Structure formats: C-alpha cells, structure tokens
Amino acid sequence: METWSAIAALAVFILVLACIITEWLHLTIAAMLGALVLLFLNVLTLTEAVDYIAQSYATLALFFGVMVMVRAFEPTRIFDYLAMRMVMLAGGEGKRLLLGIVVITTPICAVLPNATTVMLLAPLIPPIATELGVNFVPLLILMVCVSNSAGLLTLVGDPATFIVGDAINISFIDYLKSLSLGGAIALGAIVVMLPVLFPSIWRKKLDTLTQLPHPKINHPRMLILGSIIVALVLLFFVIGESLPIPISPATVALAGAALCLLITHQSGIDSVNNIFRDVDWSTLIFFMCVFVLIGGLDKTGVLSAASNVLAFILGRNIALGAILLMLLVGVLSSLVPNIPLVVAMVPMLKEYVVTVGLASPDILEPSFSGTLPVAVLPLFYAMMYGATLGGNGTLVGASSNIVAAGIAQQHGKRISFQTFLQYGIPIATLQLTVVGLYMWVRFL
C-alpha cells in the first residue's frame, strides 16, 4: 500500500506540473484537481491535507496581507501616476524609457510580490508604448524579468524566496545582510543587457509627449495615511523579529492590511466587500493546493527517497552541491513554476542535510524554530537564487510571466513561448553565471 501511495502521489504531482507547463489547464484548477485526487485515493486524509496547509500559514498570511494593502491603494491611482512619470522622465529617449522601467519596477517589487506588481503596472505599458510608437511586448518581458530579479532584494519580494526563507527561519535583516547583494548583481546584469536585447528601443528617439494622458493622484489624504502605514510595515519587516516580543513579517503584513482597510472603509473611498472581492483568491488557493500535493510526496516517502539520491551524488561537498543545486533549480524553474518547485525541494533538501549528518533531525519538525547550521545555508541560498532567476528563462517559469502574457493578449498581442525565450534565456543565463560567481566568493 505504501508503494502504491508513493507512486500515486508522484504521478499526480507530475501530471499537475505537466498541465501547468503545457497550459492545458489553469494552474489553480490543475493544482486543486490534483489535491482532490490525493484525497479521493486516500493518499492523504482531509485532516492531514489541512495540517500541511497550516504548516505554511506564514506564506499565505503574508501574501494575503500584501494583496489587501495593494488593493486598498488602487482608488488613489498612485500606480498610474508612477507609470506615467516613468515615461515623462524618459524625455524622448528609448534608453531612458528602458532604464525607467527598471528604476520604477525595482523598489516596488522589492517589497511587494512580483506577480502583484506586474498586475498593477503591466496594464499601463501597452497604451503608453502605443502612444510612443514602440512594441509593448519587449517592454512587458523586461518588466517581468526585472520584477522577478528585484524580488531577491528582500525576503518578502518573491514568493519562492519567502517560502525558502521561512523554512530556514532567516530574519528580514539577516536576509538583507546575506543575500540582497546577489539580487542587486542580478539586476545589474539586466541593465548591461538592455542595449543588446532591446536595440531598436534603446536607440529610438521618442516623439513629443504632450498628447499623452496625465493621470492625477486621487484622495491625497488617503495616500498620505496609507504611505505612513506602508512605511511602518517596511520598518517592522526589518526590526520586527528582533523586538523583545518578536513580530513576524506575516503578522506585520496582516496588521498593515487591517489598517489600510480601516482608513479606506471609514473614509468612504471604497468598501471592505469590494476590496476582498478583488483579492487574488486564485493564487492563494493555488498555494494551498500545492502544499497538499507536496504533503502527499512527504507522507509517502517520495521526498525522503529523493534526498537519499541527492546524498549519494553529493555526499558532504556543500560547495559543489550549492553550485550544482543553483544550476539545477535554475533550469527546472525555467520549465516549472518556481513556487511548487521550491515547496517540493525545501523538505527534500532538509532531509538531505540530515541524511549526510550535517544537521540534526529536529529541523524536519514542522514546529522547528531554530537556525540551521551555517555550513548548510549556502544550499538554501542557492535554491533561492536558482528558483527566482531561472524563472526569467521561459514564459512558464514564474507567475508574473503568465500575468504579463495575459495582459498582452488583452491588448491584441501574444507573447509566444519562443518570443519570451529570445529575451529570457540570455538574461537568465547571464544572471545565473554572475550570481553563481558571487555565491562562490561570498559563501563557498
């Protein structure tokens, strides 16, 4: 029965990934159907499935809180204003427009999940590009590559980064000290590639900008209060876990969401029902179902078996393991959405370090709240870098890529798999190379 359950859990997981990669089913539908199949086959009971979801409560709480805060700001039109300022600052030069996309997208994606940022900013690119006489498809691809890379600047910027960081209990400030520089290097690689990958836009001299719309900020008082809340949220992201009574990033995000709901609703700008209606429930449910799928692999011993194979190949060579792992995860995350990939690999990697005797078995406990041995941390850092940067490689590598493709379709153009490859593969290859060198110097 155990062998049959393991085969069933692995087969369902692979089938779900195949449906997502080929876009045969919407990723949320595929994950939900896969989770339900595990329940109907009794690989997991409903109680066990809920327990696996509960183990990842911090990830779900963080994303929900950030989604609510972003939606609460929507009536102010601050994101429309920022996007137009980006175009105006270009001052008639294509290269300044490309650099403007990098400059505007980077700080937002450092503190907001990248898919959320693309949802907000990407719809503004097609009409702006049309007015300026340039193709908006390369601009959308640039935006998603920047958003994915900028997610490495902070612990909360990318879902995959946060999932791994939460699993190893790294604090926001420790992440800034140890890993943010790698994200900055990855962004630098994109800037270097701009004139090579976008030559026609880089050289273009734009026409007059006087005919473009000039959106104004609505509800300035709400924006001021909301900005104060966001500033406090960012402050407590940094210092919260070092306070006498520690406050996790997920708790801070929920507190920020509650305060944004309060001022938005009480001021009459919008209602709580409208804000909750527009929350990206599809993504949240997708996460929950993926946690159930990984739970099936964990319960049936598939992850443990995979960790034994990893231990046989790598032994105790952390330096070699980290570089190979970053490259492997980078390649896989260009083919498989990085969120389910890291959710599957985190417990497998923990099993590996226990199997080779580099960590004690207590790190496998769901309630583990300590720190991992310093010697094994480069493996998890490599996973963060590989999963995030590999997502730039192909159209299906990250959720933000899919969001941008949908927006392009709505505006009459299709981002094909091959079109994305022309930009994504060179960017991802250069980023993985330079960040791999950084990892070797910094950690290994």
pLDDT digits (tens, 9 = 90+) for 308-324: 776 677 767 788 888 88
Q: Which of 277, 298, 329 is where one domain is finished?
A: 277
Closest Cα partner for 351 from 303, 403, 313? 303
Residue 49 has pLDDT above 50, yes or no: yes
Which ranges of 91-247 does DSSP label H, i.e. alpha helix? 94-111, 114-121, 125-132, 136-150, 159-167, 172-178, 180-197, 199-203, 220-239
Query: Domain check: are 231 and 313 in the same one?
Result: no
Note whether 190 and 145 are within 8 A (CB): yes
Closest Cα partner for 263 from 112, 76, 109, 77? 76
Residue 209 has pLDDT above 60, yes or no: no
Residue 26 has pLDDT above 90, yes or no: no
Note whether 48 and 303 are within 8 A (CB): no
Distance CA 187, CA 146 (A): 7
Query: pLDDT tens for residues 153-173?
Result: 988 888 788 888 888 888 888
Query: Domain check: are 41 and 115 in the same one?
Result: no
Query: Domain check: are 379 and 242 in the same one?
Result: no
Query: Domain check: are 433 and 294 in the same one?
Result: yes
Query: Domain check: are 105 and 6 in the same one?
Result: no
Distance CA 404, CA 223 (A): 27
Residue 91 has pLDDT above 60, yes or no: yes
Q: Who wins on pLDDT, 102 or 371?
A: 102
Note whether 291 and 56 are within 8 A (CB): yes
Residue 189 has pLDDT above 90, yes or no: yes
- Domain count for the chain, please give it: 2
Helices (H) and strands (E) in the chain, counts: 23, 0
> How high is the pLDDT of residue 213?
61
> How high is the pLDDT of residue 192?
95
Distance CA 293, CA 219 (A): 44
Distance CA 254, CA 250 (A): 6
Q: Which of 277, 294, 310 is where one domain is finished?
A: 277
Query: Domain check: are 135 and 176 in the same one?
Result: yes
Query: Domain check: are 270 and 303 in the same one?
Result: no
Query: Domain check: are 189 and 320 in the same one?
Result: no
Q: Strand pairing partners for 205? A: 93
Query: Domain check: are 316 and 429 in the same one?
Result: yes
Distance CA 296, CA 247 (A): 31
Distance CA 120, CA 109 (A): 11
The one-letter amino acid code at 409 reads Q
| SS3 category, 100 | helix
Residue 229 has pLDDT above 70, yes or no: yes
Can you say whether residue 247 is alpha, beta or left, with left for phi > 0 and alpha for psi between -120 and 50 degrees? beta
Mean pLDDT of 123-134: 73
Name the packing angle between helices 94-111 and 114-121 (round to 10°): 140
Q: Which of 12-21, 134-143, 184-193, 205-214 has the highest mean pLDDT?
A: 184-193
> How high is the pLDDT of residue 1?
44
Distance CA 294, CA 239 (A): 32
Residue 24 has pLDDT above 50, yes or no: yes
What backbone phi and psi angles, to 5 degrees, belong to 289?
A: -70, -35
Handedness of CA 228, 231, 233, 238 (dihedral sign): negative
> How high is the pLDDT of residue 190?
96
Query: Domain check: are 243 and 366 in the same one?
Result: no
Q: Which of 230, 249, 277 is where one domain is finished?
A: 277
Distance CA 299, CA 85 (A): 52
Query: Domain check: are 333 and 432 in the same one?
Result: yes
Question: Residue 301 belongs to what domain range?
Answer: 2-53+284-442
Query: Domain check: are 108 and 255 in the same one?
Result: yes
Residue 37 has pLDDT above 90, yes or no: yes
Note whether 334 and 394 are within 8 A (CB): yes
DSSP 224-252: HHHHHHHHHHHHHHHHGGGSSS---HHHH
- Cα distances (angstroms) measured from residue 44 to each of 3, 34, 60, 307: 14, 12, 21, 21
